[in-house]
């Protein structure tokens, strides 16, 4: 396990553009395309932090607040908000910009959990997460409650036939 890091050390800013192949008959983007971009950006942040291969363990609530249209520029920001033992929590904010209309707006906000694994798929410890900004400190302070909620949901899902 390497040294502790700040969220800014692994932050990912990914930019995409909505192309015709990303859209449905209404000219707005498929939800799955945005989910794929979110997963990739978050996975890169987790990997930068841990140095190991990381798999997606879960995605918390995911809301599409406004549609993305063909030609929109999409900015995907992924930033670690907590690290536990072998897992980390990554917040992803998706914003769109339409330069022709001089518009910028938030479309999606999602929280994902990644687990660092070895070459046999066994979870391995992650470096600790340091915090400097008030925002990072607030995320860390509440992360235990969010983790407990996920754990109870996971247990219930495992029991369900
Ligand atoms: C994620 C995975 C590696 C966990 O393995 P496991 O043997 O169940 O591991 P454990 O029960 O020891 O849990 C390890 C960590 O993962 C966390 N975790 C496991 N499942 C989770 C879930 N559904 N949501 C959030 N966290 C989860 C645990 O809380 C624990 O965190 P901690 O060590 O930081 O406290 C395993 O369930 C897996 O491989 N899942 C499939 C992943 C996948 O294919 N993703 C899609 C493609 S990338």
Is the minimum distance from the CB of 143 to ligand 1 under 6 angstroms? no
Domain boundaries, the chain: 7-159
What predicted TM-score, i.e. pTM, was given to this entire model?
0.95
Q: Specify the pLDDT at position 139.
A: 87
- Confidence tier at 1 by pLDDT (50, 70, 90): low
Q: Which two tokens stand for residue 6?
A: 């700040």
Residue whose Cα lies nearest atom 12 of ligand 1: it is 123
Residue whose Cα lies nearest atom 11 of ligand 1: it is 123
Angstrom CA distances, 93 to 34, 115, 151, stand at 11, 20, 24
CATH of 7-159, one of 1.20.1050.10, 2.60.40.10, 3.40.1110.10, 3.10.129.10: 3.10.129.10
Contact 45, 90 (CB under 8 A): yes
147: nearest Cα among 119, 115, 121, 123: 115
Is the minimum distance from the CB of 87 to ligand 1 under 6 angstroms? yes
Residue whose Cα lies nearest atom 27 of ligand 1: it is 57
Q: Which two tokens stand for residue 140?
A: 């860390």
Q: Can you tell me which atom of ligand 1 is nearest the CA of 84? A: 34
pLDDT tens-digit map of 90-143: 999 999 998 888 999 999 999 999 999 999 999 999 999 999 899 888 888 889
Is the minimum distance from the CB of 98 to ligand 1 under 6 angstroms? no
Q: CB neighbours of 19 closer than 8 A, spacing ≥ 6?
A: 70
């Amino acid at each position: 396990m390497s040294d502790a890091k700040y969220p800014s050390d692994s932050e990912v800013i990914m930019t995409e553009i909505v192309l015709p192949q990303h859209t449905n008959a209404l000219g707005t983007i498929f939800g799955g395309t945005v989910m794929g971009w979110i997963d990739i950006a978050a996975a890169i942040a987790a990997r930068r932090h841990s140095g190991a291969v990381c798999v997606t363990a879960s995605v918390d609530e995911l809301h599409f607040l406004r549609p993305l249209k063909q030609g929109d520029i999409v900015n995907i920001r992924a930033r670690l908000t907590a690290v536990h033992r072998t897992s980390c929590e990554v917040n992803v904010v998706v914003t769109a910009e339409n330069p022709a209309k001089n518009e910028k707006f938030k479309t999606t906000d999602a929280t994902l959990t990644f687990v660092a694994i070895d070459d046999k798929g066994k979870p391995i410890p992650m470096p600790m997460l340091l915090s400097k900004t008030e925002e990072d400190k607030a995320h860390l302070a509440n992360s235990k409650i969010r983790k407990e909620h996920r754990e109870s949901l996971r247990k219930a899902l495992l029991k369900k036939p």
